Amino acid sequence: MTTSENALGRTGVYVDGYNLYYGRLRGTDFKWLDLVKLVEDILSQRDQNERLEGVHLFTAHALAKFAGHGKDSVEAQSAYHRALQAKHGERLTVTYGKHAFDRDGSLLPEFVAGQPYDRTKRTRVWRLEEKKTDVNLAICMYRHAVQKRYDRIILISNDSDAEPALEAIREDFPHIVVGVIVPIRPPALGGETNRRVSGSLALHADWVVKHLTDAQLQAAQLPAQVPTNKKPIRKPTHWGPAP
């Protein structure tokens, strides 16, 4: 679809927060990421008359007992979400699912290198699952399509669970331009990335950004202190040096 065929270019973005975190941000100093700035930078490179109107983040509250930094991880996540909303107001929304786990532990097959799967050899483990995030994201994308809120939508995820929603939007609203930004590392020079782009998502997209570089993430960091009407929100110290 050409720019002239879709001149308005009202663009909405849907972010799978945990897929972004585990696929690209974990273990880096880029977690203090300004999602709006990141997408605006990518759209400016595309130069397709796209106007970013809303970024919708879908995630779940961190649980201190499972987080690497305990309560500090919970406070860091809260500070990050508050910083995003303080800077961007109604332009950015956060929708929360939840975490669920079996308090008695879950019995799962034991992994033994070089040995085939044996369901009789099981061990009890903590199994933490994120609930509702995928559903919340899919429903929000589709409802916004029905409401004609955006002319173009962008999904930031590499999770094939989002495929049915994209497929339905492509079939029911063929005028909507669909983009996918895949939150994985670029391949090493002369090598391959550790993760592959979900082919099922790319199948339903008009365009795909296949990875996010360190330079892109570095250029889209929030300021070390985000001003508010009260005390500024500071980047968590264990999230790396100030940008």
Q: Is residue 142 part of a domain?
A: yes
Same domain assignment for residues 54 and 158: yes
Q: Is residue 231 part of a domain?
A: yes
Residue 23 DSSP code: I
- Given a cut of 90, whether residue 11 has pLDDT beyond it is yes
From 112, 129, 146, the end of a domain falls on 129
Distance between CA atoms of residues 201 and 163, nearest Å: 5
Question: So what's the pLDDT on residue 103?
Answer: 63
Distance between CA atoms of residues 132 and 59, nearest Å: 9
Axis-axis angle for helices 163-172, 133-146 (nearest 10):
10
From 113, 129, 145, the end of a domain falls on 129
- What domain range is 105 assigned to? 99-129
Q: Is residue 1 part of a domain?
A: no
Q: Is residue 2 part of a domain?
A: no
Same domain assignment for residues 154 and 192: yes
Q: pLDDT of 13-25, one tens digit each?
A: 999 999 999 999 9
Q: Is residue 183 part of a domain?
A: yes
Question: So what's the pLDDT on residue 190?
Answer: 46
Q: Which amino acid is at 80?
A: Y
Q: pLDDT of 57-96, one tens digit each?
A: 999 887 655 556 678 788 999 999 999 999 999 999 999 9
Most confident of 5-14, 69-78, 97-106, 167-176: 167-176
Domain count of the fold of the chain:
2
Annotate 157-195 with b (16+ C-beta within 10 A) or e (fewer): bbbebbbebbeebbeebeebbbbbbbbbeeeeeeeeeee
Same domain assignment for residues 89 and 154: yes
Question: So what's the pLDDT on residue 66?
Answer: 56
Q: Is residue 200 part of a domain?
A: yes
N-terminal to C-terminal alpha carbon distance within the chain: 38
Q: What is the mean pLDDT of the chain?
A: 86
Same domain assignment for residues 117 and 225: no
- pTM of the entire predicted model: 0.84
Region 112-141 average pLDDT: 77
Same domain assignment for residues 206 and 113: no
Same domain assignment for residues 20 and 42: yes
- Given a cut of 70, whether residue 171 has pLDDT beyond it is yes
Same domain assignment for residues 167 and 77: yes
Distance between CA atoms of residues 18 and 23, nearest Å: 8
Region 148-155 average pLDDT: 97
From 110, 129, 148, the end of a domain falls on 129
Same domain assignment for residues 136 and 109: no
Q: Which amino acid is at 137?
A: L
Reduced 3-state DSSP string for 142-175: HHHHHCCCCCEEEEECCCHHHHHHHHHHHHHCCC
